[in-house]
């Protein structure tokens, strides 16, 4: 496992009560599990019950959908950003 910085935006910030934290994980799925344990059921519902398409994860500014999705590996010092779904008109 490696230590990463996590930045929260919009509803993720509201649910976590913070704009950023750090956590230990080896991949994005493990990180989301760790954060769900830390921040409880409302956070878990945002990241697990709605599926990968219901939020945006960037690792060092790159969308994980361009990589291995939730199986994207993390490296020491990576910055992970969590955003709710982006909508527009």
Cα(1)–Cα(17) distance, integer angstroms: 25
Is the per-residue pLDDT at 83 higher than 60? yes
Q: Is residue 37 part of a domain?
A: yes
Q: Is residue 62 part of a domain?
A: yes
Q: Is residue 22 part of a domain?
A: yes
Number of domains in the chain: 1
CATH of the domain at 12: 3.10.20.30
Cα(29)–Cα(68) distance, integer angstroms: 11
pLDDT at 87: 63
pTM of the model as a whole: 0.92
- Other beta carbons less than 10 A from residue 35's beta carbon: 24
Find out whether 31 and 6 touch, Cβ atoms under 8 Å.
yes
pLDDT at 89: 55
Q: Is residue 38 part of a domain?
A: yes
Q: Is residue 67 part of a domain?
A: yes
Q: Is residue 88 part of a domain?
A: no
pLDDT at 49: 63
pLDDT at 37: 96
For 31-68, how does the pLDDT look when each residue is reduced to its tens digit (9 = 90+)?
A: 999 999 999 999 998 887 656 678 999 999 999 999 99
Tell me the chain's radius of gyration from C-alpha atoms.
12
Q: ∠ at Cα 81 (86, 4), nearest 5°?
A: 165
Range of the domain at 40: 2-83
């Amino acid at each position: 496992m490696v230590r990463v910085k996590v930045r929260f935006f919009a509803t993720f910030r509201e649910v976590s009560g913070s704009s950023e934290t750090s956590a230990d994980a080896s991949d994005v799925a493990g990180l989301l599990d760790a954060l769900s344990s830390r921040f409880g059921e409302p956070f878990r519902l945002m990241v697990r019950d709605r599926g990968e398409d219901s939020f945006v994860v960037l690792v060092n500014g790159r969308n994980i959908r361009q990589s291995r999705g939730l199986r994207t590996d993390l490296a020491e010092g990576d910055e992970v950003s969590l955003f709710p779904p982006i909508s527009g008109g």
